[in-house]
Amino acid sequence: MFRFVFRLAAMVSLSIAVIMAVLDATRTVAASQLVLTPLKTSWNAVSPQTMAAAEMFVREKLSPILWDMGANWLLSLPGFAVFCGLALLFYAVGYRRERAAGRYAAT
């Protein structure tokens, strides 16, 4: 059950990464120079209320330094790179190994 959830999260993350990469590629072609949209810009464009709520939660419950150093660094990365990393992480957690037993058995 948990493998399915992680593999589904990996698929959703990869889908978002592809969408963000296509948007950046379109903007790059239109501007004739490399355009990489930070995750913070994309998040603010889609839902500024959740961005403010996440910032308030991290600052109040965890630590203001965590938001200033960690979250701001992560949010300054290109959005497609962050979601590609998440997709890889989720896929690695939900990966099912092939059983080694019986693989080398004589037939």
10-47 pLDDT, tens per residue?
999 999 999 999 999 999 999 999 999 999 999 999 99
CB 84 within 8 A of CB 11: no
In three-state secondary structure terms, 91 is helix
Q: What is the pTM of this model?
A: 0.81
| CA 46 – CA 107 distance, rounded (Å) | 58
66-77 pLDDT, tens digit each: 888 888 899 999
